Amino acid sequence: MPKLIIANWKTNPATVVEAMRLARAEDRAGVVIAPPSAFLAAVEATTKRAALGAQDVSREKRGAHTGEVAPSMLRSLGVRYVIVGHSERRARGETDEEVNEKVKAVLAARLVPVLCVGESWVVRKKGFPAAKKFVSGQLRADLKGVRAKNVIVAYEPVWAIGSGKADSPEEAAEMARFVKKSFVPRVLYGGSVTPKNASAFLKERAIDGALVGGASLKPSDFKKILSHVPTR
């Protein structure tokens, strides 16, 4: 399976003009651009090769839910992938139960959920088995009643996100193999992926791509990361 690189822009850039410029620079096959929802339509109109992703979604289909964006709305804008359960959303109080409902809502709209899981440093410092146990608990709760084969999982240790301290490629690959035991076919790694370390992660057979935050805001860094995607 070809490797997938997802650019998670988070709450950046500040204007739609900048978003279009960034989208043009990152418009490559095998890339998913996940801009803020305000810029989805503009990014879709600007790109030809990259696929479109959303950073979050409502679990509601329609109705009186001020501020929420439903999966069918994303689909109608050309979105194919939806990030669900990112640790920055969980940190704002999103529970496994909500994440599970979102995964189901995304699948019901015939979109692909990219479910983020990963342990905090408090857990990881107890050792790798503790991290596995934590991740398996998240998978059990978040994928309850879901056919795992339709889901992409991004393993993103919380302590590695935006910290400049990525996990080791060997341990990330071990976690990816562990996640695949739950019948998830594709597992990405995320957390401080840079032009320097990308090749080591992307060389791992068990790792099917990367979820890139900070480095996706710098086109030159992002292009360097893409240059490490194995050609087959």
Query: Interface with ligand PGA by CB under 6 A: which residues?
Result: 8, 156, 161-162, 190-193, 211-215
User: Is 167 within 8 Å of 191 (Cβ atoms)?
Assistant: yes
To the nearest whole angstrom, how small is the minimum distance from the Cβ of residue 163 to ligand PGA? 7
Min dist. Cβ of residue 5 to ligand PGA (A): 11
CA distance 46 to 211: 21
Beta partners for 32? 6, 51
Which residue in 26, 101, 119, 156 is the catalytic one?
Answer: 156
- State the residue for tokens 């087959």: 232
Q: Which of 26, 86, 101, 119 is catalytic?
A: 86
Q: Locate tokens 């439903």: which residue? A: 70
Q: Judge whether 65 counts as a catalytic residue.
A: no
With 0-12 CB in 10 A as exposed, 13-18 as middle and 19+ as buried, what is 16? middle
Q: Which residue has tokens 């978003």?
A: 19
Residue 165 CB, shortest distance to ligand PGA, in Å, is 9
Please count the CA atoms within 13 angstroms of the CA of 210 that sit on its side-chain side. Answer: 30
Q: How far is the CB of 145 from ligand PGA (least distance, A)?
A: 26
Q: Is residue 192 within a helix (H) or strand (E), and if so which, with residue range?
A: none
Nearer CB in complex with ligand PGA: 96/156: 156
Nearer to ligand PGA, 5 or 70 (CB): 5
Which of residues 71 and 213 has its CB atom nearest to ligand PGA in the complex?
213
**Helices and strands counted in the chain (H then E):** 10, 8
CB 156, min distance to ligand PGA, A: 6
- Decide whether 35 or 191 has the Cβ nearer to ligand PGA: 191
Helix, strand, coil abundance in the chain, percent, nearest 5:
40, 15, 40
The Cα 171–Cα 2 span in angstroms is: 21
Residue labelled with tokens 């988070």: 10
- Tell me whether residue 156 is one of the annotated catalytic residues: yes
Comparing every residue's Cβ against ligand PGA, the nearest one is 213
Query: Smaller CB distance to ligand PGA: residue 32 or 74?
Result: 32
Q: Report the catalytic residues.
A: 86, 156
